[in-house]
């Protein structure tokens, strides 16, 4: 099998013992979602058009870019009744699976709700933090072949749990194609309105508002390069979530998991698109060979074989390392979006893992379970951004306000300190404002 793999590299084979390991890994991991100047200019024009001409621009752009023939925004608007109708119209099995997933996602996210807090100091001064929800959230859902009802649940339910007053969803309908499962998911997730808009024009409408589309406070959800570029451009006017790169998984195996299971777990990542990245790390070289064999024998049976094959050949890897310590170091270096610990004792690894979007523990916890219905969010930091960012959560739809309530004694004491520091910064109005509160 190893010989066979060398002849036809279905998936890259790396070993930490090779002198060029670091460079090869770096090359495999490299990803930069750059917007060309053309995309940037196009997006700037679209945003300017939507800000200037509102609904009229949305209708024109949607007709042109999504090949529609609508006359007004009314034809691009779906209300709650239409969403409920989509849900009611689903086959029972799909309706029940969607409802079961939504309920588990809701329960998990309820655990993320933080409380407001306060504490009182000896002189009566009160300090604290008040947590409030966003007024209005915008959910971008890709249309066409990548329209995923699970993404609707994962983006909208945390907003709903957070207490957002109004959840607005946009989803493009290229050539007029509507996905009933997506609308049904919107119904379940508590979405208030849907506009069948996409691209930079949908992002601009949500960020600035039009006659029909209400301005939101934050825009979340994945999209193509136009959507990502538009989100970056409107950041500051509204909040945004991370700008997502291709999806990835790092599987760490101790050699005890069925190699077919592991091959399929890698495929489940690779089937997303050609840029998706599936990597397995093990310190058992023979096990790496058996996984490679499973990959080769299962690949021809896959519906999305072409995408999987391209993804594995371009960005996939089986990495043999020396020991558990090297595997842990690789985890933190890669900071994977999905980390699958296919191991006898995954719990003992948790303390060493500093960077990972979601950690799937044990041989039974396939990433696919988390993608749909385990409960935690499937919107996760990609391309190493788990170094500094988190899964989408209730906290993304809330914000905090600091609370400061000084007693007369507290203000007098703080006033002395503030006065010295303000004068050190030559900000004398600050100093005098503080000094007014100092007791004589």
Instruction: Tell me if 142 sits within 8 A of 379, measured CB to CB.
Output: no
Name the residue nearer to a second copy (CB basis): 70 or 395: 395
Helices 199-208 & 37-65 angle (0-180, nearest 10): 90
Radius of gyration in angstroms for the set of CA atoms belonging to the chain, rounded to a whole number: 26
Question: What residues between 42 and 81 interact with a second copy by CB under 8 A?
Answer: none
Rounded to a whole number of angstroms, the minimum distance from the CB of residue 437 to a second copy is 5
Site membership for a second copy, residue 388 (CB under 8 A): yes
Name the residue nearer to a second copy (CB basis): 56 or 298: 298
Q: How far apart are CA 161 and CA 329, in angstroms?
A: 36
Name the residue nearer to a second copy (CB basis): 85 or 433: 433
- The correct pick among 11, 73, 101, 343 for binding a second copy (CB under 8 A) is 101
Site membership for a second copy, residue 432 (CB under 8 A): yes
- 424 class by beta-carbon count within 10 Å (0-12 exposed, 13-18 middle, 19+ buried): exposed
> What residue ranges in 88-199 does DSSP mark as E strands?
117-120, 126-133, 136-140, 166-170, 193-195
- The correct pick among 12, 16, 125, 201 for binding a second copy (CB under 8 A) is 125
Rounded to a whole number of angstroms, the minimum distance from the CB of residue 21 to a second copy is 20
Matching residue, tokens 């999806």: 247
Confirm or deny that 224 is annotated as ligand binding: yes
Catalytic residue set: 337-338
Instruction: Tell me if 201 sits within 8 A of 42, measured CB to CB.
Output: no
- The correct pick among 54, 158, 221, 415 for binding a second copy (CB under 8 A) is 415
Instruction: Tell me if 356 sits within 8 A of 249, measured CB to CB.
Output: no
DSSP characters over 139-153: EE---GGG--HHHHH
Name the residue nearer to a second copy (CB basis): 196 or 311: 311
Instruction: Tell me if 188 sits within 8 A of 95, measured CB to CB.
Output: no
Confirm or deny that 247 is annotated as ligand binding: yes
Name the residue nearer to a second copy (CB basis): 202 or 431: 431
Confirm or deny that 111 is annotated as ligand binding: no
Q: Which residues pair with 339 in a beta bridge?
A: 250, 359
Confirm or deny that 258 is annotated as ligand binding: no
The window from 62-70, 77-85, 187-195, 420-428 that contacts a second copy (CB under 8 A) reads 420-428
Site membership for a second copy, residue 255 (CB under 8 A): no
Question: What residues between 332 and 351 interact with a second copy by CB under 8 A?
Answer: 346-347, 350
Rounded to a whole number of angstroms, the minimum distance from the CB of residue 3 to a second copy is 27
Residue 66 neighbours by CB distance under 10 Å = 22
- The correct pick among 149, 172, 223, 246 for binding a second copy (CB under 8 A) is 149
φ, ψ for residue 195, nearest 5 deg:
-115, 130
Q: How far apart are CA 267 and CA 278, in angstroms?
A: 8
Question: What residues between 181 and 240 interact with a second copy by CB under 8 A?
Answer: 181, 217-218, 232, 235-236, 238-239
* Nearest of 87, 64, 86, 62 to residue 76 by alpha carbon: 62
Confirm or deny that 355 is annotated as ligand binding: no
Question: What residues between 18 and 37 interact with a second copy by CB under 8 A?
Answer: 33
Confirm or deny that 338 is annotated as ligand binding: yes
Give me 375's structure tokens.
Answer: 């409960």
Query: Could you give the count of Cα atoms lying within 13 Å of 343 in the half-sphere of its Cβ?
Result: 24
Please, which residues have CB within 8 angstroms of residue 249's CB and are 6 or more apart in sequence? Answer: 265, 266, 268, 269, 277, 278, 279, 336, 337, 338, 339, 340, 367
Rounded to a whole number of angstroms, the minimum distance from the CB of residue 63 to a second copy is 28
DSSP-derived 3-state class of residue 78: strand
Name the residue nearer to a second copy (CB basis): 59 or 434: 434
Residue 273 neighbours by CB distance under 10 Å = 13
Site membership for a second copy, residue 372 (CB under 8 A): yes
The window from 17-25, 77-85, 90-98, 190-198 that contacts a second copy (CB under 8 A) reads 90-98
Confirm or deny that 371 is annotated as ligand binding: yes
Name the residue nearer to a second copy (CB basis): 19 or 351: 351
Site membership for a second copy, residue 162 (CB under 8 A): no
Q: Which residues pair with 131 in a beta bridge?
A: 400
Confirm or deny that 192 is annotated as ligand binding: no
**Binding site, residues?**
140, 201, 224, 247, 269, 272, 338, 371, 425, 430
**Binding site for substrate, residues?**
247, 269, 272, 338, 371, 425, 430
**Binding site for Zn(2+), residues?**
269, 272, 371, 430
């Amino acid at each position: 099998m190893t010989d066979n793999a060398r002849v036809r590299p279905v998936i890259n084979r790396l070993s930490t013992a090779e002198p060029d390991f670091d460079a090869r890994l770096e090359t495999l991991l490299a990803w930069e979602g750059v917007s060309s100047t053309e995309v940037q200019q196009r997006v700037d024009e679209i945003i300017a058009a939507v800000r200037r001409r509102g609904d009229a621009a949305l209708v024109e752009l949607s007709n042109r870019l999504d090949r529609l023939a609508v006359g007004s925004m009314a034809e691009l608007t779906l209300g709650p009744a239409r969403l409920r109708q989509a849900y009611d119209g689903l086959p029972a099995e799909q309706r029940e699976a969607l409802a079961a997933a939504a309920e588990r996602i809701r329960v998990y996210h309820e655990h993320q709700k933080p409380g407001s807090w306060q504490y009182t100091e000896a002189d009566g001064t009160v300090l604290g933090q008040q947590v409030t929800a966003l007024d209005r959230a915008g959910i971008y859902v890709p249309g066409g072949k990548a329209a995923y009802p699970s993404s609707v649940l994962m983006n909208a339910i945390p907003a709903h749990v957070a207490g957002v007053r109004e959840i607005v969803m946009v989803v493009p309908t290229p050539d007029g194609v509507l996905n009933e499962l997506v609308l049904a998911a919107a119904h379940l997730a508590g979405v208030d309105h849907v506009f069948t808009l996409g691209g930079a024009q949908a992002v601009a409408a949500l960020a600035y508002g039009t006659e029909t589309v209400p301005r939101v406070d934050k825009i979340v959800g994945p999209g193509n390069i136009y959507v990502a570029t538009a989100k970056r451009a409107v950041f500051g006017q509204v909040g945004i979530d991370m700008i997502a790169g291709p999806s990835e998984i790092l599987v760490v195996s101790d050699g005890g998991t069925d190699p077919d299971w592991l091959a399929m777990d890698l495929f489940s990542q690779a089937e997303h698109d050609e840029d998706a990245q599936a990597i397995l790390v093990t310190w058992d070289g023979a096990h790496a060979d058996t996984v490679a064999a499973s990959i080769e024998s299962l690949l021809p049976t896959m519906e999305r074989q072409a995408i999987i094959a391209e993804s594995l050949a371009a960005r996939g890897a089986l990495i043999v390392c020396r020991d558990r310590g090297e595997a842990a170091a690789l985890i933190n270096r890669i900071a994977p979006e999905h980390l699958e610990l296919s191991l006898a004792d995954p719990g003992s690894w948790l303390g060493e893992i500093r960077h990972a979007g979601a950690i799937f523990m044990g041989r039974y916890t396939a990433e696919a379970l988390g993608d749909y219905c385990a409960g935690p969010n499937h919107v996760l930091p990609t391309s190493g951004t788990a170094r500094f960012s988190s899964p989408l959560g209730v906290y993304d739809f809330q914000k905090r306000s600091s609370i400061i309530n000084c007693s007369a004694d507290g203000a007098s004491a703080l006033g002395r300190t503030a006065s010295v520091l303000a004068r050190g910064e030559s900000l004398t109005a600050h100093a005098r404002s503080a000094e007014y509160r100092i007791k004589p």
